[in-house]
């Protein structure tokens, strides 16, 4: 969503690095570049003017002139001002003192209200609530049926006494839903209302009538983040005609310029409360202005990544992995497959990578990630017996051939998996003993005394035929460059030296060849 804005801001700040002092010309040039970047992102002009004025004023103040690193101070100022125009602090749902809490959804047709109702219901269930969905959109063809399908996927009951398709009174349905919710002890009611292709008096009056009938605690204006400046115009019209207490941005995973997200909160005075960034019901979360600003500036969103991991990863399995690590037990292929399956529950690899700091420079490679690589790895591990997963050393030629046939891969792919997994096991043993990890400078304790002797290259680079000597050579040999196509490939962008960030070993080889 913010690709263009992120690239422009990154290029602007790159020109400031290395300067010990910023002149008036530097500040003016930076402000001009930021202004162009915001306008290109389709941010509303009044918001851009206010933002640039605040940045320019603060950049000329003492907080920059007296800073040890003026360039970093400018970035800090831009980050804080972005947080301000995005709404400041995170806005939470206000629940009624006497249930049920009523949340009414309003917006134009096509903004994604019905799907959002299911996402919101699933999120509320995860917060310990018992939501009820109300089908008050009786005009759009099959809107009631769609809400019933979405409700079933979310595991939430749907109140739909009318078939819709132009039949029924949505105000009466909303009133009946309140009695039904109290009778069935639902503590949250989510009312899905009808939308239109454009703003009109009929839409506003119907939404206002439903509002007066149910007295909602929250009215959420659902806006498609891809419609740019029109989002602000529509939001202002709804604010005047119906009123709303918060905003929900949908389709944040699209390729639009994202100006709506940076404009709606500032123009309307109503904060963005939720963001929808995908088609799955789980692609939905609370909108955090500080985290969104961090993403725009390519500083990642590690907190959201951690929260997703906490929701996804099984605590008991994580405790078992930690116990194995502390007691010296080896990490097995069963453990690896379990971790990989839980990782995939968090979403696509491109989305996970996008939350890591500094990944903007690898955007093209991340977008070309082959998600099927994990499928192939999982297929190979699934084709192994439990004994083979626990101890890959027993995998002889015939076993590897059987695994390749069972997983639809090649023997060389199985060999690569086993070899890289052995290296990963060795790395974990080294970490456990406090040793340094190859390719990760400064990690672990530095060994004292004599350095290990370097391996002498034999004829043709071949290893010894003596098994004991070959094992000793393998221990003394430097870490080899992992082969392409394995789940334990090299770091993106050339290791820790690229931007100072080292990708997790399980994820590195997902980047396409040539970008590693």
How many other C-beta atoms lie within 10 A of the C-beta of residue 331?
A: 17
Per the annotation, does 7 bind a ligand?
no
> What's the first-to-final CA gap in the chain, in angstroms?
25
d(CA 370, CA 348) in angstroms, rounded, equals 10
Cα–Cα distance measured from residue 460 to residue 247, given in angstroms and rounded to the nearest whole number: 67
State residue 35 phi and psi, 5-degree precision.
-60, -45
Q: Is 61 annotated as a binding residue?
A: no
Asked if residue 184 belongs to a known ligand binding site, the reply is no
Residue 193 in marked binding region: yes
333 is in an annotated binding site: no
Check whether 251 is labelled as a binding-site residue: yes
CA distance 223 to 86: 15
User: Which of 106, 111, 114 is CA-nearest to residue 230?
Assistant: 111
Q: What is the rounded distance in angstroms from the CA atom of residue 358 to the CA atom of residue 288?
A: 19
* 250 assigned ligand-binding residue: yes
The three-state secondary structure class of 235 is helix
CA distances from 493 to 2, 14, 265, 362, 499 (A): 22, 18, 37, 7, 8
Phi then psi for residue 13, to 5 deg, are -70, -25
Is residue 192 a known part of a binding site? yes
Q: Is 26 annotated as a binding residue?
A: no
110 known member of a binding site: yes
**Is 262 known as a binding-site position?**
no
109 is in an annotated binding site: yes
Establish whether 20 is an annotated binding residue: no
- Sheet containing 218-224, strands listed edge to edge, beginning at the edge strand earlier in sequence: 158-159, 131-136, 188-193, 101-106, 218-224, 246-250, 272-276, 284-286
SS3 of residue 117 by DSSP: helix
Cβ(195)–Cβ(110) under 8 Å?
yes
* Residues tagged in the binding site annotation: 107-114, 192-196, 250-253
Binding site for GTP: what residues are annotated? 107-114, 192-196, 250-253
């Amino acid at each position: 969503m913010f690709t263009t804005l992120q690239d422009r801001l990154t290029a602007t700040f790159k020109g400031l690095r290395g300067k010990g002092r910023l002149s008036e010309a530097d500040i003016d040039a930076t402000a001009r570049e930021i202004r162009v970047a915001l306008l290109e992102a389709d941010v509303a002009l009044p918001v851009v003017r206010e933002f640039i004025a605040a940045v320019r004023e603060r950049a000329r103040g003492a907080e920059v002139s007296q800073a040890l690193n003026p360039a970093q101070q400018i970035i800090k100022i831009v980050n804080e001002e972005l947080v301000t125009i995005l709404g400041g602090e995170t806005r939470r749902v206000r629940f009624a003192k006497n249930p049920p809490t009523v949340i009414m959804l309003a917006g134009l047709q096509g903004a994604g209200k019905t799907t959002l109702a299911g996402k919101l219901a699933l999120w509320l269930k995860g917060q310990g609530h018992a939501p009820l969905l109300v089908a008050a959109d009786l005009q759009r063809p099959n809107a009631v049926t769609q809400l019933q399908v979405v409700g079933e996927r979310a595991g939430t009951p749907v109140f739909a006494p009318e078939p819709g398709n132009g039949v029924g009174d949505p105000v009466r349905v909303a009133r009946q839903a309140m009695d039904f919710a109290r009778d069935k002890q639902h503590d949250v009611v989510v009312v899905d209302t009808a939308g239109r292709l454009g703003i009109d008096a009929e839409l506003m009056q119907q939404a206002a009538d439903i509002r007066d009938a149910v007295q909602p605690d929250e009215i959420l204006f659902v806006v498609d983040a891809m419609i740019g400046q029109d989002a602000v115009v529509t939001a202002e019209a709804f604010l005047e005609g119906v009123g709303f207490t918060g905003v929900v941005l949908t389709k944040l995973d699209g390729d639009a310029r994202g100006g709506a997200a940076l404009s709606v909160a500032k123009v309307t005075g109503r904060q963005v409360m939720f963001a929808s960034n995908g088609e799955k019901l789980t692609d939905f979360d609370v909108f955090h202005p500080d985290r969104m600003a961090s993403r725009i500036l390519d500083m990642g969103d590690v907190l959201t990544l951690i929260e997703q991991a906490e929701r996804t990863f099984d605590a008991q399995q994580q405790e078992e992995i930690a116990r194995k690590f502390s007691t010296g037990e080896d990490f097995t292929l069963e453990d690896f497959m379990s971790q990989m399956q839980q990782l995939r529950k968090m979403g696509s690899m491109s989305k996970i990578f996008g939350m890591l700091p500094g990944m903007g420079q690898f955007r093209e490679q991340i977008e070309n990630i082959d998600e099927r690589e994990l499928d192939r790895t999982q297929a190979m591990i699934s084709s192994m017996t439990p004994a083979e997963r626990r101890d890959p050393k027993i995998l002889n030629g015939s076993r590897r051939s059987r695994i390749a046939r069972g997983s639809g891969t090649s023997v060389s792919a199985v060999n690569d998996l086993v070899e890289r997994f052995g290296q990963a096991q060795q790395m974990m043993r080294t970490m456990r003993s406090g040793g340094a990890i190859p390719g990760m400078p400064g990690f672990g304790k530095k060994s004292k005394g004599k350095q290990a002797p370097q391996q002498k290259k034999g004829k043709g680079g071949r290893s010894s035929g003596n098994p004991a000597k070959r094992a000793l050579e393998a221990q003394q040999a430097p870490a080899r460059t992992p082969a392409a196509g394995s789940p334990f490939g090299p770091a993106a962008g050339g290791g820790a030296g690229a931007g100072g960030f080292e990708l997790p070993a399980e994820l590195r080889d997902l980047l396409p060849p040539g970008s590693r």
